[in-house]
């Protein structure tokens, strides 16, 4: 039988982090909630993960990236990107070829099947984004964009 753990005392030395007020936590929760709402639509229809969709979306925007460049543009873990790419290549949604000038570098692009899926999922994602942003007025949307740009810059 294990003893029940007591919370650490709230002292200057052991002040607990109040996650509900901690910006990274709040942004993560918001991002995960919105992403999962969007993902529910395409996961049912296409059986792809959030990571796979993000990889596809990046390749739709920036054709010819390497796996490392996809990981950098999405700020996702390289291993997660690699696994997602393997599944997408196996499913025939992404094409992986060898770079002409550097045989060690792969070049990634959406296949025709990948584009078909992208062109169905992207409007669904944009519609969900509009639903979320509809909770804000025009000025709040402008401020949100400015704040996000500033924090990311």
Domain assignment present for residue 127? The answer is yes
Say how far residue 9 (Cα) sits from the centre of its chain.
Answer: 37
b/e per residue, 10-34, with b = 16+ CB within 10 A? eeeeeeeeeeeeeeeeeeeeeeeee
Higher pLDDT, 82 or 2: 82
Domain assignment present for residue 59? The answer is yes
Q: Check if the beta carbon of residue 10 is closer than 8 Å to that of residue 16.
A: yes
Domain assignment present for residue 139? The answer is yes
Provide the CATH number for the domain around residue 130: 1.10.10.10
Instruction: Give the model confidence (pLDDT) of 19-56 as tens digits.
Output: 888 999 999 999 888 888 889 888 988 899 999 999 99
Higher pLDDT, 87 or 4: 87
Domain assignment present for residue 18? The answer is no
Domain range enclosing 73: 42-152
Domain assignment present for residue 14? The answer is no
Domain assignment present for residue 83? The answer is yes
Domain assignment present for residue 94? The answer is yes
Position 137 scores a pLDDT of: 97
**Count of domains forming the chain:** 1
């Amino acid at each position: 039988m294990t003893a029940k753990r007591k919370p650490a005392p709230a002292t200057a030395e052991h002040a607990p982090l109040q996650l509900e007020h901690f910006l990274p936590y709040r942004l993560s929760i918001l991002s995960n909630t919105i992403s999962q709402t969007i993902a529910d639509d395409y996961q049912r229809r296409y059986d792809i993960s959030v990571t796979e969709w993000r990889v596809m979306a990046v390749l739709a925007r920036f054709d010819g990236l390497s796996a490392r460049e996809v990981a950098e543009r999405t700020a996702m873990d390289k291993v997660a990107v690699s696994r997602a790419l393997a599944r997408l290549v196996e499913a025939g949604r992404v094409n992986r070829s060898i770079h002409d000038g550097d045989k060690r570098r792969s070049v990634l692009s959406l296949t025709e099947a990948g584009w078909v899926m992208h062109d169905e999922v992207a409007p669904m994602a944009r519609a969900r984004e509009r639903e979320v942003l509809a909770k804000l007025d025009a000025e709040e949307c402008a401020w949100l964009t400015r704040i996000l740009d500033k924090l990311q810059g």
